[in-house]
Copies of this chain bind each other. A is one copy, B any other.
Amino acid sequence: MEATVAITEAQQKKVKPDPETLKFGKTFTDHMFTMDYTSDLGWIQPEIKPYAPVEIDPAAMVFHYSQSVFEGLKAYKNPNGEAVLFRPEENFKRLNRSNKRLSIPPINEELALDYLKQLIELEKDWIPSAEGTSLYIRPFVIATEPSLQVAPAHNYKFFIILSPVGSYYPEGIHPVSIMVEDHFTRAARGGTGTAKTGGNYSAGYNAQAKAASEGHAQVLWLDGVEKKYVEEVGSMNVFFKINGEIVTPQLNDSILQGVTRKSVIELLKHWNIPVSERKIPMQEIFDAYESGELEEAFGSGTAAVISPIGELTWKDSTMIVNGRKTGEVTKSLYQTLTQIQTGKQEDPFGWTVKI
């Protein structure tokens, strides 16, 4: 059964950009999905209409108290030219977990997926097919009620916008340099770290600028309480291979539950590679490096899928990981995940959803 959506087609279609020169998140497709919430009527008026600016009151609560959540996933083109989504139901589940933390009313996950499918159907020519390219999908919710009261809004707007994105690795996958951040905090126990809400992201800009000024690509975040345990890398979850075993921080209330993280763990288990989720002191990574047991390190997330780490700077020490080369497990994960996502390899897990 298809959910009912009012569709207004754009009169003029935009010229599609060259996938070679695409920057992340700067180009948007012809249409967007929107739906409104009022506390009396619930979620109403699902519409697909031309992508365009929206009119918002300057007192809209999202501007003042950042009551907003978002998601990020991708659509790929498979070799038959069909549109394929990767585990989209996980993203809508997480959207509702984020909604709960931010006191935003839940969205019907099945309907939302159906709305997304209808939007992708209409925009399928926007999915690029060159190696490494995809159509990035950004569902998000903002509080629209005009009010300066510090309290949850009575009105919200849910959007889905789409952006064709180029390859994350136009020159091939390559390891990056990471700085361990021990002053700034991304998220603390009891905070909003498990929610995909804007405040967690702009809170990291100072640290990101500091890392960049010292020549690093990203920040590694430690826990906000003791500044001792590894949490995430930039906007990615993080994994290490230590003496044959893959380890990743166990989930807590300051780590985002990545869909790629979950898929990596499932894939490793399928391959019978030992993997464990536990608290990881930064000191342990350093000790493993010193004893020669730190074999690989990588981040996982929708944007880059897998991002190998070549170098980690912590206080005054720099650890070179695997001679700054992409490790074997890292490479296999990248290849298998991207091949499954793009339908080039069989999907034994039922992760992909054809439209």
Contacts and interface: CB of A to CB of B under 8 A. Distances in A.
A334 to B, nearest CB: 21
Interface residues of A, number: 65
B59 A224 contact: no
Interface in A206-255: 206, 208-209, 224-225, 227, 234-235
Nearest to A103: B205
B199 A202 contact: yes
17 contacts: A28-B59, A53-B55, A62-B62, A63-B68, A64-B70, A65-B201, A68-B202, A103-B209, A148-B163, A183-B190, A184-B191, A185-B191, A188-B224, A192-B199, A198-B199, A199-B202, A225-B225
A91 interface: no
Contact of A25 (B24, B143, B149, B183): B149
A277 interface: no
Contact of A208 (B28, B151, B190, B225): B151
Given A150-B234, A199-B200, 11 more contacts: A25-B148, A64-B138, A65-B198, A66-B199, A66-B202, A103-B209, A148-B163, A150-B201, A152-B209, A185-B190, A224-B225
B203 A192 contact: yes
B224 A190 contact: yes
A92 interface: no
